[in-house]
Structure 1
């Protein structure tokens, strides 16, 4: 190999650093997809937190390790050390995923099985190991080639951006192939830097990774997911699989025990249902492709609660949002619609029905009355100019996921008050919006949906929203209608006739209130009926405040529709957990709390406490408490802004995994560029000048937040008709200036420390790392409790606190 100082060697090292950086970020994003399949949610905040734990622990231990050796040691052994860490990253990346399959962690059991907290800690630590070795590669390169840090840091940033793009491209492959390719970057980086034995080891490890069976890296869906349960049926099999940025899509057939996906089907329906194929995304669902001969004769579709709007008045023009497998499109055609616009975010679902299973579905999406669109539903509605007699919000959550509270931390922008107002704006003068939800006891999401419908009407100036709302229920599901105008006498009579003929109970029908003796599906206590009445009464606010679950309407600022947890209900639910109350504890929220609880001691143990082995700073004039607070506040503030922005970006691009990939790439690239800019001229600047530059950076962060609010508002309203790539670019434009400014205060603080108390620099890194590890998870909890805007404002306050805490020291005037 060329000598270390030659241009060829420098190029190879930069390329190796870029490869490891790309692999680490791609691996981070692929892990989110892995967890989304293996469990219920991508847990982006937890993955970001454990990646930061790996980076922080690596910096701490590398500092201790290098301090125990003379400078000549690293100069002589750098290539071998770098190659060893790159190979360790590759091996641990594959091994961690393979071992994670064997960890019996199940987030649904956190409420009643204390062992799950230990399994979560094991999973968290295990998945952090590859990031430890990736960060060690960067640290070794920076320590050995201090004069090349700007170039090496640039290679790191370029690699991160390429890694994010690669992760999105790898989404088109089975997940295990993407993980394998990310791990293979480690041997490639090692081979670029070292020769001899390390290069031979790199070749051997690459061969081993290529020979590793794909099933060893493939995620296994949670046993309680719908696909796992469906595969237990005799003869059930997966017919087709599709991969993409919106998840793993599987088509299931069960010929011996036919699938029967028919939410809200009347108990008096005696006819046989047609065969169905199940569509499952990341193992959850199902959505259904219904076998049809093309005649659209499906009488069972008229015997469900979702048929309510068609029974009252046959709509001429229908919009189906989240069309998926096409059941709601088929219902509209079977019940008399003359034109149907089907909107689906995931093009793979439309392609399956339109091409692969076109004959099975009777050419549903080729019907001349149907127009299909690949678009984000809310963006389509905002861009549309047509008016619809009926808008159907399809694609409801699976019963298992919503019933267990697994979606508590998921952004659901389709069910916010702002979304409901958008839908109403596209209704014809006497049009309706229809939403069907699973029924659960005690009622949570049904009441939250109704509260949102009421809030949307009131926000549009409707004084008596009860006159424009209706709902009926069956034993398993309910359908809710929002009318653009008050129901007239004929419509109210038709609502009543349909409910009575099919054996459905009225939850709310203007002018008709069934007594307890008239209800066929008894609820004890009748909380749903009482709650609906209360939400329409003057005591609505008090009812929402006092209810045992959080049922305040979801908004774009707090889009967590599946979050129902309330601390004051915890003692009662905990007492009832042995009697089935544990399922009411919102496992998704509990998982975030558990992740935060175990991240705190791990961060202290692996990042901060080992630094006690270093000598303490000797500069008595250094305000340690204020300097420490500076770096703590920076770490927490950065992660609060990043996590909240990723949630807001989901509204623009339509999916949390896509938002995570784009957002992380933008933050890493732009914050890194800001850090490089901050280092220019820092070496010779006075302490007061560096402190002033940090204050200006904080002011720029405030302006950057204002810019982001403006750009995101423009993209989500004026840019609603733009294609996805244009809205994504707009989102990235909103992030870039903010992230650039956020990258500046940390290196400026390090420059001040390096001059006055070099021994405190590792502590600054450790404090910042600990704060980042914890804030990545705390940010999501804060957003769920107070909203995304409040989270961003708290972050800005932390940056202001940092600028105030460590101000420039005044130099006492000397006597002449």
Structure 2
């Protein structure tokens, strides 16, 4: 009888604990879900406020809050009891509150935004570290929920921002969090607290239908020094914002022109056009028009970076019958179409085909060949890792030039309109490499190349004495004929532009080459393995050093304070898997951008696959754990499988394999699932070997070093290339496997 009573008591205790366990796991899911969405949102928000370099720094500093939250969870565990019931409600209020302060406050500088955006991450880190510590015997389950929540949050963030734009997305997220939190806590509240809860919920609902945050109130953007147009210089008459970019069109009262910006910069003009090409014949006075005049045959042209459509009009006036207008930013086409009463819907004209794609990916996959391939001021400096990695641009690399030339007809030409002489130097360096590979003697390369600089744009002088502004670079498979060179030289003279080198007629290639081959320009950062075209100076940017130093100091201080509570070996282990994971993840996102065809798509596929499969791996991690094992052998599998995947990616880059988007996506997911499955195991394995009071500090160390890992990945990729970056990530896991017995976990 007593045994029966004891069994009943045990079962009743289990029943009482079960709802609380469900609540703990629900909190873990929603915090992971909301935090990855907020991080992606901040990336897009800061992309339009700052220069793209600073976006990486601010996001890195903000996400430090997750690691610091582990410190607070250890230092103030009692606080968790009072925050626990209201955690989701607090998260919802924090997200909309921080967003409103960033959005509605005039530009304040990097320090202000870094500190402000850290608050939700700090709160998330505190709650999650506390839950991990509370459920220390079920870490593998909690980590599974954490990773699944993060993966779904990342995917949904991209989807919602593409359909709603970022601000409505964060408003909906805040409302959802507050609503779920209210449901969980409502019955436990007194009447006054219930009334307050309902009032806040009503305000959040009103915000969905009548937003407090509108385009007109985006003060931080309108007052930012990084925004091309100020309120005094032009009014925004069109705006579109998605997961990739913000597209604005300004009316600067110029009459015949509107100006389109991408993320506040990268300006392109939209011409007033009524369908009569004679009304835009002034476009023939620009340097870019020279690119369309020279080819003998003018059947098909590909324009990469079609912007506001002026190059399409130039191609039509030059006589091209088939024009492919390609842009990675769908917002550019939408803007011109929306303003068709002004722009004449230039992209919908007969013979014009619009393509939303990455130019490099498209040129690899298309079966078309071209008389002209023209890259016009392609400047979308998007951080393809959405805050996790630095900018990469595969359309200007050495390997890209080979792909372009492969799709040119024999008498076709490849042209680039660039911003300055540093960009010109990089592309010419790549062109020389291509011609040398084809066996063309060094002294003959100059006859395949012509360069014309811009003296003016629509009559406005843009070039200072001695400077090279908006140069047009023309490359040909075969040498220019004297007739072609004469025509180009005379055409440049007729529109008062500046020939810098034209074979036979203005042969200044040696002088130009000596000027451009400045040792300060990192020419090596122009390969597929190191595609940082907009990184124009040698050395690692200072903002990366600042971030790494701050993280290192914070980690060192935490390690010194808690070295007696947490073994040094555990700190090394959790630091290692944090850094190793980010080195691998960031590099895979970067390298798979080209195969998947779009940086946003690469981010979603890689991150979602790794997190979901990693979560499943976490749930199964206990199956391979034995207390007597001195090493967790599956760490070795992470290194092995990552090596295999990276070799397959390298094979794709070297091959001319043509697959559909669906096939490439399916192949990538299939490759990444085994890597993610095993990469999700080392963290819960390590946590399972800790004592309860060591969990939160170890969480904090791992969080800090995860951010450090993303910065180290950027530094290594910029300096040595992505191949070395992922090798270092693989070596980190190998070292953890080899030296694990010495860590004495």
**TM-score category by the smaller chain?**
0.7 to 0.9
> What is the SS of the residue equivalent to 1:565?
coil
1:305 matched residue in structure 2? 287
The whole-number CA distance in structure 2 between the counterparts of 1:714 and 1:360 is 44
1:434 matched residue in structure 2: 415
1:452 equivalent to 2:430? Answer: yes
Q: Which runs of 5 or more residues in structure 1 are unaligned?
A: 107-118, 259-274, 402-407, 516-527, 536-542, 568-585, 618-623, 811-816
* Aligned 8 A contact 1:103 1:123 in 2: no
SS at match of 2:592: helix
Contact 1:507 1:529 in 2 (8 A): no
CA 645–533 in structure 1, closer or farther in 2 if over 3 Å, else same: same
Structure 2: how far apart are the matches of 1:35 and 1:554? 26
Q: Give 1:557's match in structure 2, choosing from 522, 526, 529.
A: 529
Change (3 A) 1:394 1:713: farther
Q: C-alpha separation between the residues in 2 aligned to 1:800 and 1:155?
A: 27
Give the gaps of 5 or more residues in structure 2. Answer: 1-12, 383-388, 455-462, 464-468
| Distance across 1 between alignment mates of 2:612 and 2:57 | 21
Alpha-carbon offset, residue 34 of structure 1: 0.6
Provide Cα deviations, 1:277-315, integer angstroms capped at 9, x if missing partner.
222222223222222222322322222221223333452
TM-score by length of structure 1 reads 0.78
Q: Distance in 2 between matches of 1:807 and 1:6?
A: 37
Counterpart residue number, 2:146: 156
Contact 2:61 2:547 in 1 (8 A): no
Distance 1:200 1:552 in 2: 63
Distance 1:556 1:710, change over 3 A: same
> Are residues 1:342 and 2:310 paired?
no
Residue in structure 1 matched with residue 235 of structure 2 by the alignment: 237
Deviation of 1:250 after TM superposition, in Å, equals 1.8
CA distance in structure 1 between the partners assigned to 2:111 and 2:660 by the alignment? 43
Contact preservation (8 Å) 1:379, 1:721: no
CA shift, 1:558, in A, is 0.8
Which residue in 2 is equivalent to 1:97? 99
* SS across alignment from 1:807: helix
Aligned CA-pair RMSD: 3.5
Give me the whole-angstrom Cα distance separating, in 1, the residues matched to 2:141 and 2:694: 26
Cα gap change, 1:633/1:17 in structure 2, threshold over 3 Å: closer, same or farther?
closer
Q: 1:335, 1:630 → 2: CA distance?
A: 64
Match of 1:707 in 2: 645
1:293–1:362 contact (8 Å) kept in structure 2: yes
Inter-CA distance 96–661: structure 2 relative to 1 (3 Å threshold): farther
The equivalent position to 2:627 in structure 1, one of 682, 685, 691, is: 685
State the match for 2:10 in structure 1: none
The answer to whether the 8 A contact 1:321-1:393 is kept is: yes
Q: Which one is further off, 37-46 or 376-385? A: 37-46
**Counterparts of 1:557 and 1:414, CA distance in 2:** 13
Cα distance in 1 for partners of 2:377, 2:102 equals 31
Query: In the alignment, what sits opposite 2:118?
Result: 128
Match in the other structure for 2:188: 196
Per the TM alignment, residue 319 of structure 1 is displaced from its structure 2 partner at its CA by: 1.2
Q: 3-state DSSP class of the match of 2:342?
A: coil
Decide whether aligned partners of structure 1 residues 87 and 666 sit closer, same or farther in structure 2, where only a CA change above 3 A counts. same
Answer yes or no: is the 8 Å Cα contact 2:398–2:434 preserved in 1. yes
Determine helix, strand or coil for the equivalent of 2:503.
coil
1:613-672 per-residue CA deviation (whole Å, 9 max, x = no partner) reads: xx546xxxxxx5555433332222112112222222332445544543443333332323
1:138 and 2:128 matched: yes
Q: Deviation at 1:486?
A: 1.3
Equivalent residue runs for 1:99-118 within 5 Å:
99-101=101-103
Q: 1:15 to 1:753 in 2, by over 3 A?
A: closer
Is contact 1:449-1:553 (8 Å) kept? no
SS, match of residue 806 in structure 1: helix
- Count of aligned pairs: 701
- Correspondences of 1:24-173 after superposition (within 5 Å): 24-41=35-52, 45-46=56-57, 49-50=60-61, 52-66=63-77, 77=81, 81-101=83-103, 120-145=110-135, 149-171=139-161, 172-173=163-164
Q: TM-score, normalised by structure 2?
A: 0.84
C-alpha distance after superposition, 1:533-586 (max 9, x if no partner):
577xxxxxxx56xx233244611111111112235xxxxxxxxxxxxxxxxxx9
Check 1:225–1:247 CA distance in 2 against 1; reply closer, same or farther (3 A cut).
farther
Asked if structure 1 preserves the Cα contact closer than 8 Å seen for 2:147 and 2:614, the reply is no
Q: How far did residue 208 of structure 1 move? A: 4.1
Q: 1:103 to 1:662 in 2, by over 3 A?
A: farther
Partner-residue secondary structure (3-state), 1:391: strand
**Residue 792 and residue 193 in structure 1: after superposition, are their counterparts in 2 closer, same or farther (change >3 A)?**
same
Match in the other structure for 1:278: 259
Deviation of the 1:29 alpha carbon: 0.7
Please identify, of 656-665 and 430-439, the stretch whose mean Cα deviation from structure 2 is larger.
656-665
* 1:417-496 matches, cutoff 5 A: 417-439=398-420, 443-464=421-442, 465-474=445-454, 475=463, 476-496=469-489
Match of 1:396 among 356, 378, 389: 378
Give the superposition deviation at 1:793: 0.7
**3-state DSSP of counterpart to 1:438:** coil
